[in-house]
């Protein structure tokens, strides 16, 4: 299956694109994450639910994006070589990122409040694509410069997986002493999360070379998925304890704090089991295709690119709608998905764009 059609991977891409819409909409209505226009709410329970959902999504979905992107890089490079590999990959990453930088980011900002065009330039949501561009360039250059032997690695045991979790927790904590997760740096990178992205990109390459996706053991999936659920359940309790002595979440973002230490380890304890579960479940239950799944998977990249101004426009349109904040989130998510899917269908009919997105 490593070299054949893997419908479940395309279905995971569609799933992740939907999670991006949910994450950004949650952020727009009070969940932690940052957004162009935040509609505040006094409903503590609703905003806490949105924050918890965002924390869970943040723990795994972008890392899984990087893993999947990396998984297909070795095969593509093997078939095309250095120059053709970059010729195919770079425009698909750079052109959408620049389109967002020059047009969609200023549009989103100016929908909320008028701002000088040059001051509204930015990658914002496209940070992922720019990071993936850098990772791709680094991979291609290393392959070009060095003659790398393909080493064989057994699929990690339960013990080695636990060691990996501890290692990632420590790496997160150390990184966030210098780069708190609530601060953006060059290209709107939140560098506090980058240890996960870099490691999962590397693991995607290793997984392809060793056919790991076909070696995922159900017993280990079950074990670490239970660990993920237990980890998730600890967060409301920790939030409650912290709320007794602090009115904000600043300590979780980084620095030498118990909150940062907890969150640094909470992430890998949460995302390892979820990623294993998603990969295993989609492979064994959703490894098929139909017209709708094919359409959504083909549109997932363009949905990722264009969803931001749709969310912001809907926020402004519905801001006077007096309903529970969770219902408003659901409404915006559904409409955004439908509208962005239709826009994507239209864009994919344009021959030159079709080759890029």
Q: What is d(CA 13, CA 166) in angstroms, rounded to the nearest whole number? A: 28
Flag whether 255 is in a domain. Answer: yes
Model confidence over 112-155: pLDDT tens digits?
Answer: 999 999 999 999 999 999 999 999 999 999 999 988 777 889 99
The predicted model gives 85-111 an average pLDDT of: 97
**Residue 32, phi then psi, degrees to nearest 5:** -60, 140
Residue 128 in any domain: the answer is yes
Q: What is the residue-wise DSSP string for 204-273?
A: HHHHHHTTGGG---HHHHHHHHHHHHHHHHHHHHHHHHHHTT-SS-HHHHSSSSHHHHHHHHHHHHHHHH
Evaluate whether residue 24 is within a structural domain: yes
**Residue 269 is assigned to a structural domain of this protein:** yes
Which residues have CB under 8 Å from 309's CB, separation 6+?
104, 107, 108, 111
What letter would DSSP give residue 216? Answer: -
Contact yes or no for 49/73 (Cβ under 8 A): no
What pLDDT shows up at residue 91? Answer: 96
Residue 2 included in any domain: no
Overall domain count for the chain: 1
Spatial distance between the Cα atoms of 198 and 136, rounded to a whole number of angstroms: 11
At residue 199, does pLDDT exceed 70?
yes
Does 104 reside within a domain?
yes
> Does residue 134 form part of some domain?
yes
Q: Which tokens hold the place of 107?
A: 């549009």
CA angle 349, 355, 357 (to 5 degrees): 80
The verdict on residue 254 lying in a domain is yes
| pLDDT value for 249 | 83
| 42 — pLDDT class (breaks 50, 70, 90) | confident
Structure tokens at 13: 């891409």
pLDDT at residue 83, as a whole number: 96
Using alpha carbons only, what angle is made at residue 270 by residues 223 and 93, rounded to the nearest 5 degrees? 120
Q: Which domain holds residue 209?
A: 7-354
Across 316-323, average pLDDT: 93
DSSP one-letter string for 138-176: HHHHHHHHS-------PPPPHHHHHHHHHHHHHHHHHHH
Single out the residue of 325, 314, 302, 304 nearest to residue 112, CA to CA: 314
pLDDT of 248 above 90: no
**pLDDT at 5 exceeding the cut of 70:** no
- Res. 4: pLDDT tops 60: no
């Amino acid at each position: 299956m490593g070299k054949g059609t893997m419908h479940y991977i395309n279905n995971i891409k569609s799933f992740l694109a939907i999670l991006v819409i949910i994450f950004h909409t949650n952020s727009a209505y009070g969940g932690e994450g940052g957004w162009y226009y935040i509609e505040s709410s006094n409903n503590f329970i609703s905003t806490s639910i949105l924050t918890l959902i965002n924390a869970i999504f943040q723990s795994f979905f972008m890392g899984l994006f990087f893993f999947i992107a990396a998984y297909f890089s070795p095969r593509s490079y093997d078939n095309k070589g250095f120059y053709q590999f970059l010729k195919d990959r770079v425009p698909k990453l750079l052109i959408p990122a620049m389109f967002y930088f020059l047009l969609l980011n200023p549009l989103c900002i100016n929908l909320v409040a008028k701002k000088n065009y040059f001051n509204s330039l930015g990658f914002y949501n496209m940070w992922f694509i720019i990071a993936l561009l850098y990772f791709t360039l680094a991979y291609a250059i290393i392959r070009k410069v060095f003659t790398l032997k393909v080493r064989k690695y057994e699929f990690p045991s339960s013990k080695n997986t636990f060691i990996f979790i501890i290692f990632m927790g420590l790496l997160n904590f150390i990184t966030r002493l210098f780069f708190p997760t609530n601060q953006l740096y060059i290209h709107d990178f939140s560098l506090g999360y980058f240890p996960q992205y870099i490691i999962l990109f590397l693991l995607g390459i290793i997984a392809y070379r060793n056919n790991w996706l076909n070696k995922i053991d159900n017993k280990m999936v079950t074990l670490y998925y239970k660990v993920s659920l237990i980890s998730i359940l600890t967060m409301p309790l920790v939030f409650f304890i912290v709320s007794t002595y602090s009115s904000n979440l600043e300590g979780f973002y980084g620095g030498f704090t118990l909150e940062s230490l907890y969150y640094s380890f909470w992430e890998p304890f949460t995302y390892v089991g979820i990623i294993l579960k998603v990969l295993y479940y989609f492979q064994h239950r959703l490894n098929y295709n139909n017209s709708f799944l094919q359409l959504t998977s083909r549109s997932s990249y363009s949905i990722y690119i264009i969803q931001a101004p749709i969310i912001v426009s809907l926020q402004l349109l519905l801001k006077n709608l007096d309903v529970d904040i969770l219902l408003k989130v659901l409404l915006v998510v559904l409409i955004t998905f439908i509208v962005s899917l239709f826009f994507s269908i239209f864009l994919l009919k344009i021959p030159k764009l079709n080759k890029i997105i």
